[in-house]
Amino acid sequence: MLLLIPTIGTRLTFFTFAVILLAVSLGGLFLTHPRRAWAYTPMLLGLVGLNLWWPAGPIKASPGLVYETESSYNYIQVLQQSDGQGGWWRGLQLNEGQGVHSVYSPTYFDYPLVDGVWDYFLIIPYFNNPPYTESQVKRVLVIGSAAGTISKAYSGIYGPIPIDGVEIDPGIIKVGQDWFDMTEPNVTVHAQDGRYFLANTPQTFDVIAVDAYRPPYIPFHLTTREFFQEIYDHLNEDGVVAINAGRTSTDYSLIEALGGTMQAVFPNVYVMDMPDYGSSLGNSLVIATKQPTNIDNFARNVTPLQNPLLRVVADRSLNTRIWELPPQEFVFTDDKAPVEQVIHSLIFRYLLGG
Give the CB-side neighbour count of residue 45, counting CA atoms within 13 A: 6
How many helices (H) and strands (E) in the chain?
12, 12
User: Comparing 337 with 43, which gets the higher pLDDT?
Assistant: 337
pLDDT score of 18: 78
* Predicted confidence (pLDDT) at residue 58 exceeds the cutoff of 70: no
* Predicted confidence (pLDDT) at residue 26 exceeds the cutoff of 80: no
Other Cβ atoms within 10 Å of 235 Cβ, number? 21
CA distance 294 to 270: 9
pLDDT score of 354: 56
pLDDT score of 41: 77
CA distance 121 to 108: 18
* Predicted confidence (pLDDT) at residue 53 exceeds the cutoff of 70: no
Q: What is the pLDDT of residues 143-202, one digit of tens each?
A: 999 999 999 999 999 999 999 999 999 999 999 999 999 999 999 999 999 999 999 999
Q: 120 and 285 in contact (C-beta within 8 Å)?
A: yes
Mean pLDDT of 203-216: 91
Mean pLDDT of 103-109: 90
pLDDT score of 98: 74
CA distance 143 to 188: 12
pLDDT score of 56: 60
* Predicted confidence (pLDDT) at residue 52 exceeds the cutoff of 80: no
pLDDT score of 50: 66
Which pTM was predicted?
Answer: 0.86
pLDDT score of 4: 67
pLDDT score of 17: 81
Lowest-pLDDT choice from 127-136, 193-202, 250-259, 277-286 = 277-286
